[in-house]
Amino acid sequence: MHTLMQYCSEDLSPGLYQEFLERLDDDDPIVWARYGDGEFRAIFHMKGRNASGHQFFPDLGDRLRDILNKNPEYEVGLQRNAVRKFGDRILKEFPFVDWTSTEFLHDMSQREGLNDFFYTLINKNVILVGPDYLRDLLRIFPFEHIEVPLIDCWLDHDRILDETKAAIKAYYDQEEPVVVLFAAAMLTNVLIDELYMPDEPLSLIDVGAAFDPYAGKLTRGYHRRMVIRMPEWTS
């Protein structure tokens, strides 16, 4: 097993998820970005697109590399598939990054659903930055929504960043904590880095494709093997 796999072992997921929920419940700011094989394909200037159809633009890859090169102060998650495909290169080029798991939200979604996460969010000021199809989920949860394109949302970076900043500021003007959830492909990592404000009551959380099956979209192979468990009060 590759040495980097220790940071994203499935055995860590229950404990990390519980800690995550407790921090969220206590309004302890969480800033957590996920780096998977798509992000590293962009960083390594590979051609093609990720699982959601987003292109690996060279300037996007350079921006992601710059973020990792400065070893961010916030939590940077590492995906198991990225370790399998690029573990040696990641270890060689980014030996100083203090990795954590990028898998616990998706692992726990498959194991038991995300009801505890949804319950914790329901009383928070939540902004969801993600594609239009997540509106099906927003009919249940009163999250503010900033829409991103289905593909190549990197090209709409400026508009998405400006709208997210404005939405955050509106809550800040009321002196209220904010949770921003991102489902914006590789753009998410850039937005989190740009919006990060240490010592502020602002959580920036990369949910990846974890919410997709709860919105009726099976966009990953593991979604088709899941039993979708929605909170009972949504039925």
**pLDDT tens digits, 123-149:** 899 999 999 988 767 677 778 999 999
Here the tokens at position 36 are 């998977």
Mean pLDDT of the 25-43 span = 95
Q: Model confidence at 90, in pLDDT bands (50, 70, 90)? A: very high
Q: Model confidence at 110, in pLDDT bands (50, 70, 90)? A: confident
Q: Tell me what pLDDT residue 63 has.
A: 98
* CA 112 to the chain's CA centroid: 19
Segments forming the whole domain that contains residue 86: 3-234
* CA atoms within 13 Å, Cβ hemisphere of 62: 3
Q: Model confidence at 17, in pLDDT bands (50, 70, 90)? A: very high
Residue in this structure with the two tokens 């080029």, named with its chain if needed? 93
CA atoms of 74 and 198, how far apart (whole Å): 9
If one compares 192 and 81, the residue with the highest pLDDT of the two is: 192
- Contact present, 102 and 78 (Cβ < 8 Å): yes
pLDDT at 216 over 90: no
Query: What average pLDDT is seen over the chain?
Result: 88
Q: Model confidence at 225, in pLDDT bands (50, 70, 90)? A: low
CA atoms of 121 and 142, how far apart (whole Å): 10
Residue in this structure with the two tokens 């468990």, named with its chain if needed? 229
Q: Model confidence at 232, in pLDDT bands (50, 70, 90)? A: low
What is the chain's percent helix, strand, coil content, to nearest 5? 50, 15, 35
Look at the chain and report how many structural domains it folds into: 1
CA atoms of 31 and 78, how far apart (whole Å): 14
For the beta carbon of residue 7, count every other beta carbon within 10 angstroms.
20
pLDDT at 224 over 70: no
* CA atoms within 13 Å, Cβ hemisphere of 53: 7
- Contact present, 8 and 76 (Cβ < 8 Å): no
CA atoms of 191 and 181, how far apart (whole Å): 11
Kindly give the interhelix angle for 187-195 and 58-69, rounded to the nearest 10 degrees: 40
Q: Tell me what pLDDT residue 212 has.
A: 83
Global confidence as pTM = 0.91
Pairing state of beta strands 126-130 and 178-182?
A: parallel
